[in-house]
């Protein structure tokens, strides 16, 4: 019921903004030129507000002690490395942009996360307010269509990100707001990503970063991520039995996982079943899943490794598996995480040697 009401609420918000936009458009005198300008402005301002949103996370993160790890809009990414900023290209389904930062030192009860999480929404609202205010002074009530589009898109992106729903800033903020354990998990996510992006292996990181808090049922996406990291850590030491045990826990709850995690768990299950000589029918079933197949077409090192595992285990085609692994190795330049690059190469080498 709660999920239904949340979905209904978001649909109503979309309807309100859509209705406001239609009223604004219908109030104009239309021509082909105006239509083209509106379409171009809509697309351009949507992209601008995504950049502003992620820029807001960056600004307020910096103000509260964070440092940049990566900044992505659509597939284009800037990664902070020891040698300066580097361009990468990474497609992440389900997210239009993302600003990931390294957190300041964790102090119990004083972890600064609220402004960082709210930063994107603040900048969306602020930019809409400034542009709308200037337009009000100049034009009065009769806003030009480009101004109307900019203001409405900023408000829409801001509102849909701050209201807790699915896997957004508002939901993350709500979960961590007054829960010390969730704040620690949030810190752990940021810290693990920052450290591994700089080449620190999963085995070198403190085990406490990967452990679920006492009494945690493992059902929310903070804990789902934690279990996924435990699985990765087991794979990092090539302990596939342990990785499979953790994957079994996640797989038993697959209907509760957010879509991105569900696909990633399914893909790694496919790989683990192949290296452990598991149920071939289950491997084929996972591989034929439309969602999994769509994700496997994305050019990422892990996807090439998993596709190679399928070719070797199901089709017995070692040459094709080797070719896929070679394609995966060539994608190293697009991977923003140094530790994952090393891990993927080890896993591919282990697969081909099996």
Express each pLDDT in 134-150 by its tens digit: 999 998 877 788 898 89
To the nearest whole percent, how much of the chain has pLDDT over 70?
91
CA 312, CA 137: separation in Å to the nearest integer? 67
CA 37, CA 300: separation in Å to the nearest integer? 37
pTM: 0.90
Q: What is the DSSP string of 210-274?
A: TSPPTT--S-SHHHHHHHHHHHHHHHHTT-HHHHHHHHHHHHHTGGGS-HHHHHHHHHHHHHHHH
pLDDT in tens, 151-203: 999 999 999 999 998 889 999 999 999 999 999 999 999 999 999 999 999 99
- Measured between alpha carbons, how far is residue 284 from residues 28, 56, 267, 270, 271 in Å? 55, 44, 11, 8, 11
Structure confidence at residue 215 as a pLDDT band (50, 70, 90):
confident
């Amino acid at each position: 019921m709660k999920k239904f009401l949340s979905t209904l609420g978001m649909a109503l918000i979309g309807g309100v903004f859509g209705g406001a936009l239609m009223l604004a458009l219908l109030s104009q005198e239309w021509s082909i030129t105006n239509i083209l300008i509106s379409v171009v402005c809509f697309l351009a301002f949507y992209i601008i507000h995504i950049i502003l949103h992620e820029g807001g996370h960056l600004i307020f993160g910096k103000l509260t002690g964070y440092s940049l790890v990566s900044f992505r809009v659509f597939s284009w990414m800037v990664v902070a490395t020891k040698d300066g900023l580097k361009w990468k290209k990474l497609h992440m389904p389900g997210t239009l942009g993302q600003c990931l930062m390294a957190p300041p030192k964790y102090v119990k009860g004083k972890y600064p996360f609220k402004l960082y999480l709210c930063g994107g929404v603040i900048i969306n609202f602020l930019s809409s307010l400034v542009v709308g205010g200037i337009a009000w002074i100049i034009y009065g009530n009769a806003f030009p269509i480009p101004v109307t589009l900019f203001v409405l898109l900023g408000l829409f992106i801001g509102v849909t990100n701050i209201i807790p729903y699915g896997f957004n800033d508002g939901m993350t903020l709500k979960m961590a707001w007054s829960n010390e354990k969730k704040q620690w998990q949030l810190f752990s996510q940021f810290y693990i990503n920052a450290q591994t992006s700089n080449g620190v292996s999963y085995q070198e990181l403190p085990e406490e970063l990967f452990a679920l808090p006492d009494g945690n049922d493992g059902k929310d996406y903070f804990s789902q991520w934690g279990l996924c990291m435990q699985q990765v850590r087991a794979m990092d030491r090539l302990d596939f039995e342990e990785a499979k045990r953790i994957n079994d826990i996640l797989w038993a709850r697959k209907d509760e996982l957010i879509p991105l995690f569900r696909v990633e768990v399914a893909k790694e299950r496919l790989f683990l079943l192949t290296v452990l000589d598991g149920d071939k029918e289950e491997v084929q079933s996972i591989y034929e899943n439309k969602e999994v197949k769509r994700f496997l077409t994305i050019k990422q090192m892990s996807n090439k490794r998993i596709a190679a595992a399928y070719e070797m285990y199901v089709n017995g085609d070692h040459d094709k598996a080797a070719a896929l692994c070679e394609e995966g190795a060539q994608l190293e330049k697009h991977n923003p995480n140094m530790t994952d690059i090393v891990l993927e190469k080890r896993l591919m080498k282990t697969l081909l040697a099996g």
